[in-house]
Amino acid sequence: MKIVVIGGGACGLKAACRARRRDPEAEITVIDAGRYPSLGRCGLPYYVGGIVNELNDLRRTLAGVVRDVQYFKKIKNIDILTETKVTEIDREKKVVKITKKDGSEDEIPYDYLVLATGAKPIRLNLPNADAEGVVTLFDPEDAEKILDMWDEGILEKAVIIGGGLIGMETAEALSNLDVEVTIVELLDHVLPALLDKEMAMLVQSYLADKGVKILTGSRVTEIIAKDGSVVGVKVDGTKEIEANLVLMAVGVRPNVDLAKACGLEIGETGAIKVNSYLQTSDENIYAGGDCVENIHLITGKPVFIPLGSTANKHGRVIGDNVTGGKSTFPGVIGTTIFKVFDLNVARTGLTEKQAKELGYDVITALCPGPDRAHFMPGQKPIRIKLIADAKTGKLLGAQMVGWGVVDKRIDIVATAIQMGATIDDLANFDLAYAPPYSTAIDTLIHAANVVRNKRDGLYKTISSFEVKDKLDRGEDIVLLDIRSDEEFRKFKKIEDPRLLRIPLEELRENIDKIPRDKEIVIVCQIGSRAYDAQRILEGYGFKDVKVMEGGMAFWFW
């Protein structure tokens, strides 16, 4: 049995190792174009940012051994050919044609072939895009290049094209090196594929606090070079920004050249199409990792969401199936997380925008809260957005941004979505409670209850964006700020003559000061006390009362 794997990344090596564990006899060969197989690419921003000291740290086992060619040979009895290019797959003869490091050519026969060719970063076709200093951050060589520039003292200003995940992580890494960073994003907020606008704005305003400049709704139209090196970019054809480094972080494309050339079916996303066994249109060829599309478990549609965690799962399934197993991979729901400075940003499922585009009638909640008991040291705030199907109550997605713990809560929702849970299920999950880990009613459970209260017509909200519009349009509303004097002094406030201040504690005795003939929008710090105030006012017969959802935590102006 001859198993040949093209690609020495997460999926390819996992497939090879899994195959070996199941079959001690098979001949297993991995062909990798690069020099460093088994390198955790996800760690590259941390290498640039100085948190990871050497590239080999991204290749070690838990016990500290570098997973190099010798490691795979000695322990796994797997042959890895590095710096070796596959030039052709001959499906008839079942051979792979290669060109080795020394230029010599060869053919390797296979019984099963595994395509784990990964993805490659998109390079925009801009004027001067080939200038020195225009990079992506994808291969270890890219990271080395950035660090070399920094070592040489010629890296002071950077422009990152694309406000996505890699753009964010690299913005932090470069800031850690005291590089002045400007992010240029085409759409009207950062992270457009991952977050709805109000959640993205939380990230955006935090980045601004950290000194990162962000231009949204802006396009880099030209790279400005001098003597072959980058000196800046031109934005929207006019505005110039100085830069020694331009990072293109506008996403990746699946590496499907080999698959296409040998006639394998490519899916509508542009990635290799596979069935649930991760088998391509050729039954002897499997494919996984960043070069294939996955089924989105909510929509049932193919999506291209390349992730290291998914690639590893693919590898295991493929390793089973090329050794006589019958394993399947169900699909993904687009769970993503990253850290930018001290902020944790995570999402899963569909955004509100995506869900609406797909025709869902959605109900959502914005719920800021603490990540553990307020009396515990280290307690930090988080902001949760939940999206559910208004018809069925099924969870469709969640987004979380916070200085506190969000990975836990996003994983709970991801698990819940994957198991088909409703918002009512979520509200009753028996989650672990003790003061160092959560509040007695966890902020996530609280968020589920907020959705239920909105669904049941108890809690009536208006978004901060709508409030801003109303104020800008000059509508004659009452903005009722019910925070305490101390909070009002200490925190952000809306400066507007339509603002009426009555602390919640004094609301009942001051009820006559509130006009009954106007629309009333209640504002507090995070929205929960405003809910009390809304119910109090309604108890006194007020008819048009709403809470500004999420409170001042979502006031961006």
Residue from 42, 187, 193, 358 touching a copy of itself (CB under 8 A): that is 42
Residue from 108, 250, 262, 445 touching a copy of itself (CB under 8 A): that is 445
Stretch of residues binding a copy of itself (CB under 8 A), selected from 67-75, 82-90, 242-250, 494-502: 67-75
Q: How far apart are CA 107 and CA 86, in angstroms?
A: 9
Question: Min. distance of Cβ 370 from a copy of itself in angstroms?
Answer: 6
Q: Which of 11, 17, 42, 367 is catalytic?
A: 42
Q: How far apart are CA 187 and CA 225, in angstroms?
A: 26
Stretch of residues binding a copy of itself (CB under 8 A), selected from 84-92, 154-162, 405-413, 462-470: 405-413
Cβ nearer to a copy of itself, comparing 143 with 259: 143
Binding of a copy of itself by 484 (CB under 8 A): yes
Amino acid at 372: R
Q: How far apart are CA 306 and CA 119, in angstroms?
A: 8
Q: Which of residues 199-258 bind a copy of itself (CB under 8 A)?
A: none
Cβ nearer to a copy of itself, comparing 267 with 308: 308
Binding of a copy of itself by 74 (CB under 8 A): yes
Q: How far apart are CA 330 and CA 143, in angstroms?
A: 34
Question: Min. distance of Cβ 74 from a copy of itself in angstroms?
Answer: 5
β pairing state of 461-462 and 27-31: unpaired
Q: How far apart are CA 84 and CA 99, in angstroms?
A: 6
Please name the residues in contact with 347: beta carbons below 8 A apart, sequence gap of 6 or more: 194, 195, 199, 334, 335, 336, 337, 397, 398, 399, 400, 410
Binding of a copy of itself by 176 (CB under 8 A): no
Residue from 531, 547, 550, 552 touching a copy of itself (CB under 8 A): that is 531
Binding of a copy of itself by 79 (CB under 8 A): no
Question: Min. distance of Cβ 413 from a copy of itself in angstroms?
Answer: 9
Q: Total residues at the site for a copy of itself (CB under 8 A)?
A: 104
Cβ nearer to a copy of itself, comparing 190 with 337: 337
Binding of a copy of itself by 457 (CB under 8 A): no
Residue from 399, 449, 461, 464 touching a copy of itself (CB under 8 A): that is 449
C-alpha separations of 412 from 62, 232, 257, 299, 398 in Å: 26, 44, 38, 20, 10
Of 199, 202, 166, 197, nearest to 183 (Cα)? 166
Is 291 known to be catalytic?
Answer: no
Binding of a copy of itself by 425 (CB under 8 A): yes
Binding of a copy of itself by 329 (CB under 8 A): yes
Binding of a copy of itself by 556 (CB under 8 A): no
- Per the document, the length of the chain is 557
Of 528, 532, 488, 533, nearest to 514 (Cα)? 533
Binding of a copy of itself by 197 (CB under 8 A): no
Please name the residues in contact with 209: beta carbons below 8 A apart, sequence gap of 6 or more: none
Q: Which of residues 111-140 bind a copy of itself (CB under 8 A)?
A: none
Question: Min. distance of Cβ 339 from a copy of itself in angstroms?
Answer: 5
Q: Which of residues 364-403 bind a copy of itself (CB under 8 A)?
A: 369-370, 373-377
Stretch of residues binding a copy of itself (CB under 8 A), selected from 140-148, 215-223, 440-448, 494-502: 440-448
C-alpha separations of 475 from 69, 379, 548 in Å: 69, 39, 16
Helices (H) and strands (E) in the chain, counts: 15, 30
Residue from 83, 130, 151, 407 touching a copy of itself (CB under 8 A): that is 407
Cβ nearer to a copy of itself, comparing 153 with 457: 457
Cβ nearer to a copy of itself, comparing 267 with 381: 381
Q: Which of residues 295-324 bind a copy of itself (CB under 8 A)?
A: 297, 307-313, 316
Cβ nearer to a copy of itself, comparing 92 with 432: 432
Token look-up 């988080």 returns: 382
Binding of a copy of itself by 437 (CB under 8 A): yes
Is the separation of the CB atoms in 44 and 50 below 8 Å?
A: no
Cβ nearer to a copy of itself, comparing 162 with 369: 369
Q: How far apart are CA 481 and CA 66, in angstroms?
A: 59
The pair of structure tokens assigned to 317 is 């399934």
For residue 395, count other CB atoms closer than 10 A to its CB.
29
Helix (H, G, I), strand (E, B) or coil at 2: strand
Token look-up 């990871």 returns: 52
Binding of a copy of itself by 532 (CB under 8 A): yes
Is the separation of the CB atoms in 495 and 483 below 8 Å?
A: no
Q: Using CA of residue 164, residue 165, residue 166, residue 167, what is the dihedral sign?
A: positive
The pair of structure tokens assigned to 260 is 């296409």
Stretch of residues binding a copy of itself (CB under 8 A), selected from 83-91, 97-105, 203-211, 441-449: 441-449
Cβ nearer to a copy of itself, comparing 159 with 337: 337
Cβ nearer to a copy of itself, comparing 185 with 442: 442
Radius of gyration of the chain (CA): 27
Catalogue the active-site residues: 42
